[in-house]
């Protein structure tokens, strides 16, 4: 796992300055396009060009099951993870529709469903038959964690080989909001109540039960939760580990990342804790309705692009944000300058 802390080069500051200079010359008041300007300038620095472009998008969906589901923390049974994987490869899910719309390359990876499935279109890189119940024992072994992290790295390798301009990681795993909440509590120092939400749509009584399960699990493992990788091993999921590996390696390869909702942002939090230099390569797509997401975004000092009351996961919010990111690049590269449009930028002497 030494590769996780390998150096990450920052986006190119010289091209950042060039892009900012160009923004000052475009036919608009400076700052009038808000976050669209910031996105364009950041991507210019990432791509080392004054005129960034986003044409090739890569979407990897990591799926795995969670032993914690036996604690009745989800509104859906565990079999739904497998059923949704089949839906993904049959192109029937929301993420499929959205990915088709932006013409993204799309793949589904079984990182550890409760049982292996022989379905064409599913990449099998299994770390195990789901994680263990982390309310009773560590979610995974060190070897399983290494395997799941490497699965994320391999997905980015495929994206880079296909000359992707953006990487998006999605997830599927019944009960994974319980795992994400537990991880975020330990890493941020916030309360379980702040970071525990409805997940798949459980009621208030079930949320209280879910919070109590998380408290009990953290108490059980508290002597072992001494660094981010330990937190991932004891409380995490295989798909969360794959996202962590993907995010770190994507930044190491200079490939911009669009981060989805609560689960994905928790993975980003882990990645930042492991290798802080990753932060400049992350674009946060949206703030979801899952209760803890806003708190984690605030902790990371992240500015999400969208507020659409989404809470689906799957990478859906990240893919939804892509057209905005593409428009930001188009504005940077295709708008006329004041000089090209022959528009006066300063009042003549004597004018009021």
How far is the C-alpha of 335 from the C-alpha of 12, rounded, in Å? Answer: 23
For the chain, report the end-to-end CA distance as a whole number of angstroms.
65
The number of residues in the chain equals 352
How far is the C-alpha of 89 from the C-alpha of 32, rounded, in Å? Answer: 42
DSSP state string for 164-204: -SEEEEEEE-TTHHHHHHHHHHHHH---HHHH---TTT--H
Counting beta carbons within 10 angstroms of the beta carbon of residue 297, is it exposed (0 to 12), middle (13 to 18) or buried (19 or more)?
Answer: buried
Neighbour count for residue 29 (Cβ, 10 Å): 7
Which one of the listed residues 37, 71, 107, 314 is annotated catalytic? Answer: 314
314 among known catalytic residues? yes
Tokens of 230: 């330990």
Are residues 36 and 3 in contact, defined by beta-carbon separation less than 8 angstroms?
A: no
How far is the C-alpha of 142 from the C-alpha of 171, rounded, in Å? Answer: 21
Are residues 236 and 179 in contact, defined by beta-carbon separation less than 8 angstroms?
A: yes
How far is the C-alpha of 157 from the C-alpha of 176, rounded, in Å? Answer: 25
Buried b (16+ CB within 10 A) or exposed e, 111-125: bbbbeeeeeeebbeb
Neighbour count for residue 303 (Cβ, 10 Å): 12
* Residue 278, C-beta contacts closer than 8 angstroms, at least 6 positions apart: 8, 247, 248, 251, 268, 271, 272
Are residues 236 and 131 in contact, defined by beta-carbon separation less than 8 angstroms?
A: yes
Residues noted as catalytic: 314
């Amino acid at each position: 796992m030494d590769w996780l802390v390998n150096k990450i080069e920052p986006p190119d500051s010289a091209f950042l300055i060039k892009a900012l200079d160009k923004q000052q010359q475009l036919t608009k008041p400076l700052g009038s396009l808000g976050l669209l300007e910031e996105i364009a300038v950041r991507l210019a620095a990432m791509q080392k060009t004054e005129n960034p472009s986003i044409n090739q998008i890569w979407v990897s969906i990591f799926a795995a099951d969670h032993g914690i589901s036996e604690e009745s923390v989800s509104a859906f049974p565990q079999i739904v993870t497998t059923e949704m994987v089949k839906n993904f490869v049959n192109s029937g899910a929301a993420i499929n529709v959205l990915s088709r719309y932006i013409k993204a390359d799309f793949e589904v990876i079984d990182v550890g469903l409760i049982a292996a499935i022989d379905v064409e279109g599913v990449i099998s890189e299994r770390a195990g038959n789901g994680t263990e119940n982390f309310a009773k024992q560590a979610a995974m072994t060190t070897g399983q964690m290494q395997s799941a992290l490497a699965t994320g790295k391999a997905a980015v390798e495929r994206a880079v080989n296909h000359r992707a301009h953006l990487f998006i990681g999605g997830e599927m795993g019944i009960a994974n909001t319980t795992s994400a909440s537990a991880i975020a509590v330990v890493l941020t120092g916030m309360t379980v109540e702040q970071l525990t939400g409805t997940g798949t749509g459980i009621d208030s009584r079930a949320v209280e039960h879910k919070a109590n399960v998380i408290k009990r699990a953290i108490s059980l493992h508290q002597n072992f939760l001494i660094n981010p990788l330990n937190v991932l091993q004891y409380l995490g999921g295989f798909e969360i580990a794959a996202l962590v590996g993907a995010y770190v390696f994507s930044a190491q390869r200079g490939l911009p990342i669009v981060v989805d909702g609560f689960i994905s942002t928790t993975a980003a939090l882990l990645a930042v804790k492991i290798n802080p230099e990753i932060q400049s390569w992350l674009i946060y797509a949206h703030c979801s309705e899952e209760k803890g997401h806003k708190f984690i975004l605030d902790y990371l000092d992240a500015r999400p692009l969208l507020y659409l009351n989404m809470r689906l996961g799957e990478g859906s919010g990240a893919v939804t944000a892509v057209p905005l990111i593409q428009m930001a690049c188009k504005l940077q590269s295709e708008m006329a300058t004041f000089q090209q449009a022959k528009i006066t930028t300063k009042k003549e002497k004597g004018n009021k």
